[in-house]
A and B are shown apart, each in its own frame.
Chain A
Amino acid sequence: MQVFSSIGSQLIDLCSALLLLTCFAIVAQRRLSACVDLFALQSAFLVLTATLVAYLTGNQHIYIAAALTGVIKVIIIPRVLRKVIDRLNVKRELVMYVNVPTGLLISGGLVMLAFFIAQPIIPLGSILTRDSLAIALAIVLIGLFTMIARQKAVTQLVGFLVLENGLFLGATAATHGMPLIVELGVFFDVLIATLIAGIYTNRLQDAFDSVNTDRLTILKE
């Protein structure tokens, strides 16, 4: 096991913390376009983290993964989402299942939970930093929570993408990156998922005149 300089691992921790911060910003943000921008920002931080990991471990294929993240998550997906938002003409989330301060408190609780869960795993070794795994887990949980708490299909999609970012961070931080082929597969999946969800959102708008997913309950009759 290679030992990294403490500065390197601190930088990775810092980047992971920034990822987590953007998560909180997404939870606190009501404007859909700002959510998408924040997601793009988060992905940019992810690229930074991945590049750092690649540099520190010397794993060449993580560079490729980072570059792919940059192209797909920082540029393509946000652009697709902005198009969807433009077409739907929904600017902000007015009604939420959980209001913002409560949502923040719950997210804070999720972070604590993630740290408590990750604590016994951390000493098992082969992890670059002490807390990026826990942060990754926290991001996954918050992403999932966002999907539950929000009504609009677009923010749910952002929640899903955040969740995926968390998974990617976990993968790079904990296992020095998955095999390249797996990562490529995941990227492809995410891209397709986004496109499908975009189309699905448009269809939802056409069918119900709304992108509130709770309208789907009408379908049962």
Chain B
Amino acid sequence: MLHSLILMVAQTTVLLAISPFLVGVIRKVKARLQLRRGASVLQPYADLAKLFQKQPVISTATSWIFTATPYIVFTSLLTAGLLVPTFTSQTPMNFAGNIIALVYLLALGTFFLILAGLDAGSAFGGMGSSREAIVASLTEPAMILSIFAIALTNGSTNVSTIVHKTALLEGIVTDPSPHLMALAALFIVALAETGRVPVDNPATHLELTMIHEAMVLEYSGRYLALLEWSAGLKLAVFLSLIANVFAPWGIATTMTPAAMAIGLLVYVAKTAALAVLIGVIECMFAKLRLFRVTDLLGVAFILALLGLLFFYILRS
């Protein structure tokens, strides 16, 4: 019991600590590829600290939804983060929910963000909310199918169990194609859900292109800090998911301190590598028009479906 509690606290701390770092890595990679020096990878921490210190301004048009939303989003993402293994494959909260719970916890945050976008009564927020609604509705089927395709090989839909079994090589050994397709699908989903190019651009403040930034436009001070941190958390959750489900090597499968230490190092390395990849992608591709995003997410859905198909065909 105490053991689980310590692990939970550790995992929460790791997630909270690593998320600004991952954002920093992406920004740094982008800057370097654009031949800029770029800010230090630790800059996001300083940004957060600064935002927390600022006095928030709240619109008089808003209701309690507006001030409650940052806390709800932050909470739902942290809870989702506890369902995904990070440095150890046996997360204590594994029993609390499987992938469906994970997806719907993320949806809880999305729901309140959409509401908050509408609350201030400015057209920007409404536009962001409206776009978020369509992007979210297209990503989730692909996400559920892709993780399900992987879940089948391990006989479990609990993320931690999947990772633990894969790390110990206990799953059904099949050809790599279903995994490959599911990975591609999940990666596209991750880009869309975390608001990255080519779906959304976190660095823009141009009304034609904003999605996530438009929804949080009216926020300031500690509320904005919480939302920025949450955006980082979402990134961390998705990167942990991808890194640990598809490449669980090095993750701590036992409870010894040595294994945990190695697991932590490997975890940071893996997620940082994925963050670098995202940075490269952001430099290589242009942002898609909103109505072309459907093409991309359509690809993700079909890939996940094919992964599933291949799994069944290969096993029969």
Contacts and interface: CB of A to CB of B under 8 A. Distances in A.
Interface of A: 10, 13-14, 16-18, 20-21, 24-25, 28, 30, 100-101, 104-105, 107-108, 111-112, 115, 119, 130-131, 134
A136 to B, nearest CB: 14
Nearest to A101: B298
B47 interface: no
Contacts, number: 63
Contact of A24 (B303, B313, B314): B303
Most buried by B among A16, A25, A111: A111
B63 interface: no
Interface in B212-233: none
Nearest to B299: A28
Most buried by B among A101, A115, A130: A101
A131 B310 contact: yes
B181 interface: yes
Give the interface size class of chain B.
20 to 34
Given A10-B176, A13-B177, A130-B314, A24 B299 contact: yes
A17 B180 contact: yes
Contacts of B313: 115, 119, 130-131, 134
Given A108-B306, A111-B306, A112-B309, 4 more contacts: A13-B176, A28-B296, A104-B302, A131-B175
A105 B176 contact: no
Contacts of A16: 177
Contact of B175 (A13, A101, A112): A13
A59 to B, nearest CB: 23
19 contacts: A14-B175, A14-B177, A16-B177, A17-B310, A24-B306, A28-B298, A28-B299, A100-B294, A100-B295, A101-B294, A101-B295, A104-B299, A104-B302, A108-B302, A108-B305, A119-B313, A130-B314, A131-B310, A131-B314
Contacts of B310: 17, 131
Interface in B267-310: 294-296, 298-299, 301-303, 305-306, 309-310
